[in-house]
A and B are shown apart, each in its own frame.
Chain A
Amino acid sequence: MSSEQFFTAYCLLLTDMLRYIIFAPLAGAAINWLIGRRVRNERFIGLVACGSVGISTIIAFYLAFKSDGALRSTQPIMDHLWTWVQVGNFRADFGLAMDRLSGIYVLFITFVGFLIHVFATGYMHGDGGYYRFFAYLNLFMFAMLTLVLGDNFLLMFVGWEGVGLCSYLLIGYYLDKDEAAPAAKKAFIANRVGDWGFVLGIMLVFFLTAAKGVASISFFDKPAQGVNSALATIAAMPIDGFTWHAIFAGGITSVAVLLFIGATGKSAQIPLFVWLPDAMAGPTPVSALIHAATMVTAGVYMLARCSAIFTHAPTAMFIVAMVGAATALFAATIGLAQNDIKKVLAYSTISQLGYMFLACGVGAFIAAIFHVMMHAFFKAQLFLGSGSVIHGMHHEQDMRRMGGLRKYMPITWITMVCGWLAICGVPIWAGFFSKDEILWKVWVAGPFNLPAGAAKALWFIGIVTALLTAIYMTRLMVMTFWGNERFREADHHHDEHHHDVAHEPHESPLSMTIPLIVLAILSTIGGLVGVPYAISSLAGGHPENYFEETLAPVISTVPSARVPEGATENLRWLSPPPQEIDGKPAVAPVGEAPGSATSHETPNPAEITEERLLALVSVMIALTGISIGWFVFQKQPVRAMPRLLENKYYVDEIYDVTIIQPIKVGSREGLWKVFDLGVIDGILHAIGGSIVRLGRTIRYMQLGFVRGYAAIILAGALIIIGYFAYNGASALRFLVK
């Protein structure tokens, strides 16, 4: 093969590489399901599962960082697989696209996913359904990557449903656990409620764009397929008014609210958050991957992807901000009083997701994505750490039976300390930068979508949540790793076959500790990719905020109070025109005259001081929270928490009484007994019965007596003759016309 031929083949391979990112895990799932179940060799199954995700990871990193990769050019990498739906001018393709937003998502999904797969090979060791677990986990990776890489709403929805299915399968993975099946069902049903909103939102996008010319549900302009970006179409429309009426007007605000309903289901926000704590019935790596790091952030991804829609719907953004803030605070208070180590982390996840939605709600989509990524690192770390603890404690999850584990599990302990500091928001650790960024953006949120004073109130909620987060995470750490050793105490009713043997906690194997270490390092230094100017300028470093600069071209921004009036004209774009590689951004950032050479806005010194001050406040809050947690729980780790919090505000019970029971009773008494048995069965039985009765009557004509038939024939003949005799020849007129 000549070098030229080789080069052509190489290029061909590269242009289609995006598809390997999603199909490698699918192949892994298929191999594990079809072959792994027969081989039953853990080494083989683990190798296939980790290897397939590893391939995705390598390709994703290559595509993102190569010279004209997704993160370095403003043009997305496209991969058109096949035409899926084509009706007239409307198209929905099975096409993948990796732009800066989906690129960042794919990077952390594949990388964190890979680490969690490796961790799971150790965690699931000896489990009977090893092949099944990894087949599901790989299938999840496929669905999640489809969700993120899909270039239109419909394909995104396919991934959206796929992750829901895998979540269902994996929550219910432990077939012998009583709480697993109902938890899986609950997650599935709660997600369906959200999907209802998502589907309607997609339909409304279709109708809105159709009203503007050509219907489209694509995220991108695709000239080769003749597809226009639906988001660009919507971005060109006027901004909706900030009124409650707009929600039901069927315009952009309605789209945004419906999409947000979808996001509340997937991302566990009020009112659909109830499924996530129960989802902890699944294996811990699943909780880490699906219910903390990746799937639950799909809602944030969707909002950021649709930032053009949301920045045209101030009412919807207001709702997003309010729901996000409420969820953040609400879940944090519940997390304070849980005793199951995974439940604490589950409520912490809900609370952090609330933070992300709060950021989206004030228009800080980039800060939200930044927090998503940091959260993926430290929450995956914390979940895997808790998995390591559970593994070392022989499947004990109750923190009241732990304590003093740092002596037994030093690596888990140290790595979890990193995750803990990260989530609390201690400087240098990842969570500090992202959380601080969100709080700052909330503080300065303009009047676009928030009434006067609301921004400050939301900031206050955010800071209280940060305090609570620090307290409950410190409580978790203290109860688990410090204090007296409570695991030797009696009452180990739960596992009888382990009676007095092997109750000593032990450190986990290397396959589990190495992912912990990598994630701990990421939790520690990961935040440095997005250091805001106000902080980085303190150290005299370069002023760029890499993360923000990377994402700025693909995210719409809201017109804020601090942007000069004329600049709002520049806000109405979404898909930037092609630009030269590594050249200046195709679209100038907000607040800057188009055409100027530099892309950094010159920060206002007063603003910088304000931002630094707020950062200081949040550091103080974090440290206060840690010390409160430390001093309260160090002395007495197991203390009675408020009953209201321990019982999660009785939300499950309230839902049960107000929604589930009425539906159950209404279905049983109304739909089943009255409608089904009464109306449906009634109609059928009435039809059947009347035909039986009719037949019974007519049957007497068929007596079987020859003379009876003769009589009938005679009667018929007489009737016909009589008719003609009575009417005469005129009765025959119809024959001759």
Chain B
Amino acid sequence: MVPQLSWYLALSAVLFTTGVVGVMIKRNVISMFMCIELMLNAVNLTFVAFSSFFRDVTGQLFVFIVMTVAAAEAAVGLGIIISIFRNRESLDVDDASTLKL
């Protein structure tokens, strides 16, 4: 059975929804961070699937950009998380609700 485009899209939707739900329900900032990564990679999967389907390399190029941005975002995000942890001694995002450090 040859994988259809719809399979990839369905997997991507599942991954993305998992990421969204994870961001919404998780309090641990690391988990939220991982869920965000999950969403990004779900989108990446869609890009690659469409790229293969349309025989167009543009989508794959875009994936590289997304990965680069994700790496940068991970660096900044982890920096913020460390900073919050030093101040709050907690990884619970609800503890960081005063809009300041």
B99: contacting residue among A704, A707, A710, A714, CB under 8 A: A704
B98: contacting residue among A704, A711, A714, CB under 8 A: A704
Q: Chain B, 58-101, contact with A by CB distance < 8 Å: what is the 0/1 string?
A: 00000000000000000000000000000000000110111100
Residue pair B99, A702 in contact (C-beta under 8 Å): yes
Q: Chain A, 684-717, contact with B by CB distance < 8 Å: what is the 0/1 string?
A: 0000000000000000001111110011001000
Residue pair B96, A706 in contact (C-beta under 8 Å): yes
Centre residue among A702, A703, A705, A707 by max chain B CB count within 10 A: A707
Which A residues lie within 8 Å of B20 (CB)?
Answer: 714
In the complex, B13 has a CB within 8 A of chain A: no
Which A residues lie within 8 Å of B99 (CB)?
Answer: 702, 704
Instruction: Give complex CA distance A707, B32 in Å.
Output: 9
Residue pair B24, A704 in contact (C-beta under 8 Å): no
Residue pair A705, B23 in contact (C-beta under 8 Å): no
What 5 pairs across the A-B complex have the smallest Cβ distances? Answer: A704-B97, A706-B93, A704-B99, A705-B97, A710-B23
Instruction: Give complex CA distance A119, B94 in Å.
Output: 91
Which A residues lie within 8 Å of B24 (CB)?
Answer: 707, 710-711, 714
Question: Interface of chain A, helix or strand or loop or mixed?
Answer: helix
Instruction: Give complex CA distance A707, B28 in Å.
Output: 11
A96 to B: closest C-beta gap in Å: 72
Kindly report which residue of chain A lies nearest to residue B25, judged by CB atoms.
A707
- Chain A residues with CB under 8 Å of chain B are 702-707, 710-711, 714
B93: contacting residue among A702, A705, A711, A714, CB under 8 A: A705
Kindly report which residue of chain A lies nearest to residue B99, judged by CB atoms.
A704
Kindly report which residue of chain B lies nearest to residue A711, judged by CB atoms.
B24
Residue pair B23, A707 in contact (C-beta under 8 Å): yes
Instruction: Give complex CA distance A467, B58 in Å.
Output: 117
Instruction: Give complex CA distance A702, B100 in Å.
Output: 13
Instruction: Give complex CA distance A110, B23 in Å.
Output: 95
Instruction: Give complex CA distance A703, B93 in Å.
Output: 12
Which A residues lie within 8 Å of B98 (CB)?
Answer: 704
Contacts A705-B94, A706-B93 known; list 11 others, CB within 8 Å. Answer: A704-B96, A704-B97, A704-B98, A705-B93, A705-B97, A707-B27, A707-B32, A707-B93, A707-B94, A714-B20, A714-B24
Which B residues lie within 8 Å of A711 (CB)?
Answer: 24
Interface set, chain B 1-56, CB cutoff 8 A to A: 20, 23-24, 27, 29, 32
Instruction: Give complex CA distance A703, B32 in Å.
Output: 18
A-B residue pairs in contact (CB < 8 Å), sample of 16? A702-B99, A703-B97, A704-B96, A704-B98, A705-B93, A705-B94, A705-B97, A706-B29, A706-B32, A706-B93, A707-B23, A707-B24, A710-B23, A710-B24, A711-B24, A714-B20
Instruction: Give complex CA distance A711, B96 in Å.
Output: 17
Kindly report which residue of chain B lies nearest to residue A702, judged by CB atoms.
B99
Instruction: Give complex CA distance A707, B27 in Å.
Output: 8
Instruction: Give complex CA distance A707, B95 in Å.
Output: 12
Kindly report which residue of chain B lies nearest to residue A708, judged by CB atoms.
B97
B29 to A: closest C-beta gap in Å: 8
B22 to A: closest C-beta gap in Å: 10
A552 to B: closest C-beta gap in Å: 90
Instruction: Give complex CA distance A705, B92 in Å.
Output: 10
Kindly report which residue of chain A lies nearest to residue B20, judged by CB atoms.
A714
Instruction: Give complex CA distance A710, B93 in Å.
Output: 12
B23 to A: closest C-beta gap in Å: 5
Kindly report which residue of chain A lies nearest to residue B35, judged by CB atoms.
A710
Kindly report which residue of chain B lies nearest to residue A717, judged by CB atoms.
B20
Instruction: Give complex CA distance A497, B36 in Å.
Output: 96
Instruction: Give complex CA distance A109, B96 in Å.
Output: 86
